[in-house]
């Protein structure tokens, strides 16, 4: 996988421009993945109330799509992290546009997050898992920095929804846009192995919506 694609390529902002435009994103998600995004945008709009009293890690933050639900006075801490400096620049611009002055920004590799164990109450990871070269390691890092009882909420593209969707995934992997893409069952296994329980999954075409709670002791080293 060409990880430099996500570190520096300005082409990554194309995804960001699409996802920011709800109507366009819903059309593209249906055409590419057979997925319906209406409930996802409702979840994003509700993030402000979820984050009101929580320390939040948003990784990968992309261009700040999750900011749409945040309030100016949200929570004790909100960290937006991404490997791509291009995405972080766009996220900073989006935060400024929305008057969100409290957000911390960090250029970070999700496989080696620069935070101590049990730092955050909530981790949101939208549309990132399928782009990571090593999703199990990424999920384990998210678990490590979450406190016991903390939640992971996210979305990912998965294999097995249909031949057309799997072909689009294969092409994205060939181009270096996607990393290791799993099936829904594999994602469930990654989460369980990382110490997450109370797994809640919903499939819409090739898009998986997931929630999980970090168990009391994940055995970090």
Question: How much is the pLDDT for 149?
Answer: 96
Question: How much is the pLDDT for 13?
Answer: 56
Question: How much is the pLDDT for 71?
Answer: 81
Residues in Cβ contact with 209 at an 8 Å cutoff, skipping those fewer than 6 apart: 39, 40, 43, 154, 155, 201, 202, 203
User: Where are the chain's structural domains?
Assistant: 4-214
Question: How much is the pLDDT for 188?
Answer: 97
Question: How much is the pLDDT for 4?
Answer: 54
What's the CATH number of domain 4-214, 3.30.2090.10, 3.40.50.150, 3.40.720.10, 3.40.50.1370?
3.40.50.150
Cα separation, 122 vs 77, in Å, equals: 10
Q: Is the pTM of this model over 0.95?
A: no
Question: How much is the pLDDT for 19?
Answer: 64
Question: How much is the pLDDT for 86?
Answer: 87
Question: How much is the pLDDT for 217?
Answer: 59
Contact (Cβ atoms closer than 8 angstroms) between residue 27 and residue 34: no
Contact (Cβ atoms closer than 8 angstroms) between residue 44 and residue 68: yes
Cα separation, 126 vs 27, in Å, equals: 18
Contact (Cβ atoms closer than 8 angstroms) between residue 85 and residue 107: yes
Q: Give the alpha-carbon dihedral of 42, 199, 142, 65, to 10 degrees.
A: -10
Cα separation, 199 vs 188, in Å, equals: 8
- pLDDT tens over the chain, length 221 residues: 344 555 545 455 556 666 667 777 788 888 889 998 888 888 888 888 888 889 999 999 999 999 988 887 667 899 999 998 988 999 999 999 999 988 999 999 999 999 999 999 999 999 999 999 999 999 999 999 999 999 999 999 999 999 999 999 999 999 888 999 999 999 999 999 999 999 999 999 999 999 999 998 544 44
């Amino acid at each position: 996988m060409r990880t430099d694609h996500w570190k520096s390529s300005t082409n990554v902002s194309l995804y960001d421009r699409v996802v920011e435009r709800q109507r366009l994103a819903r059309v593209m998600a249906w055409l590419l993945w057979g997925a319906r995004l209406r409930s996802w945008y409702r979840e994003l709009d509700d993030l402000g109330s979820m984050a009101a009293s929580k320390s939040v890690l948003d990784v990968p933050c992309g261009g700040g799509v999750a900011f749409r639900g945040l309030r100016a006075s949200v929570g004790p801490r909100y960290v937006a992290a991404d490997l791509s400096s291009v995405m972080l620049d766009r996220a900073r611009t989006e935060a400024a546009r929305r008057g969100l002055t409290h957000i911390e920004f960090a250029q970070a590799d999700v496989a080696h997050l620069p935070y101590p164990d049990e730092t955050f109450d909530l981790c949101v990871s939208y549309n990132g898992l399928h782009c990571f070269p090593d999703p199990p390691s990424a999920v384990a890092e998210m678990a490590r920095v979450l406190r016991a009882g903390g939640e992971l909420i996210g979305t990912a593209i998965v294999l097995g929804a249909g031949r057309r969707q799997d072909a689009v995934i294969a092409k994205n992997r060939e181009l270096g846009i996607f990393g290791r893409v799993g099936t829904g069952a594999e994602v469930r296994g990654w989460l369980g192995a990382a110490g997450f329980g109370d797994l809640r999954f919903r499939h819409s075409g090739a898009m998986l919506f997931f929630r999980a709670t970090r168990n009391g002791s994940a055995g970090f080293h």
